Structure 1
């Protein structure tokens, strides 16, 4: 009963999932991650949400499903091939795709620009963490996944994860919670 949310997936999710598999893209977000992202997006009425790492748009579809009519989502990726899958299946005036390096995008924006950030790429997670967190407003939520060991991790990646978690938990301006959910999630809220 609990733990499986694929049956509640957004309409475009199944088609995106099929294209993701066909492309051999091995870094997709799970349905359970998406379900939590949808809930968090819904908790930010009129909010500005940033996704770093569109991928094929699996998580993007869930985020979009949680937005109210006055909210907006910017999804950034450096890989046009995978982002084009999302562009094809997710057409919505609340959503803007940006083809760019995530860290470059982060550095172009003022502190306090976003209500929520889902960092699903190296930039914003392992690189440029402080700059990314500065983009959140007070009460803003930062979400990362793939914190539990994954089959596609390169050798030695656990040290990166451990270092990231230590940095997040050392910050007095954040309330951090680790979740044994999906691929291992971490949520942080700005005090």
Structure 2
């Protein structure tokens, strides 16, 4: 089967050019993006959370799959990088940008749960994991990427990624699937009850 992505959000070329000009190289790859759009489409009127906006490529994929009634909150520490996304999506009322530490945001957020949480940064994945999982609604999804070795990983990080995946797959409150695909993905769905 050919897994080449053939449908892209229209904003990607502009986002990629701006990210390259800013020296930002950590955007999600296309297959992950395609999956994000597909998962977002399963949640009509849904509430989505992205931890780690970056320059907005993941944001573009999520928005491309969302219907007009769905909403997205996206959190990023780096104001200069997130500005790329804020400018690109300034007219899209479905998205709310939060600039600040993702861990601090997770600690203080007191709103409703989310139907999809995409954790693409340390907070919500390697730190504040329990808090991020608490924010997944019953039947909601939690997705992480970058579980396969990446060129920018620090020494010993593979062990951390392996522990994270093992801990998530051992949980009884989530049904999980790991995918040795794209950058290495794990999708977890909160069981009802």
8 Å CA contact 1:38, 1:65 repeated in 2: yes
1:177 match: secondary structure? strand
Q: Which runs of 5+ in 1 are unaligned?
A: none
1:83 to 2:82 alignment: yes
1:74 to 2:87 alignment: no
**Alpha-carbon distance between aligned partners in 1 of 2:184 and 2:108, rounded to the nearest angstrom:** 30
Alignment TM-score, normalising by the size of structure 1: 0.95
Q: CA deviation at 1:26?
A: 2.2
Q: Which runs of 5+ in 2 are unaligned?
A: none
RMSD: 1.3
8 Å CA contact 1:26, 1:152 repeated in 2: no
Change beyond 3 A, Cα 1:133–1:64: same
Q: CA deviation at 1:112?
A: 5.4
**Alpha-carbon distance between aligned partners in 2 of 1:25 and 1:136, rounded to the nearest angstrom:** 29
1:18 match: secondary structure? helix
Instruction: Determine the structure 2 residue equivalent to 1:180.
Output: 180
Which moved further from structure 2: 126-135 or 7-16? 7-16
8 Å CA contact 1:111, 1:137 repeated in 2: no
Change beyond 3 A, Cα 1:112–1:95: closer
Which moved further from structure 2: 22-31 or 133-142? 22-31
8 Å CA contact 1:111, 1:136 repeated in 2: no
**Alpha-carbon distance between aligned partners in 2 of 1:79 and 1:36, rounded to the nearest angstrom:** 25
Instruction: Determine the structure 2 residue equivalent to 1:11.
Output: 10
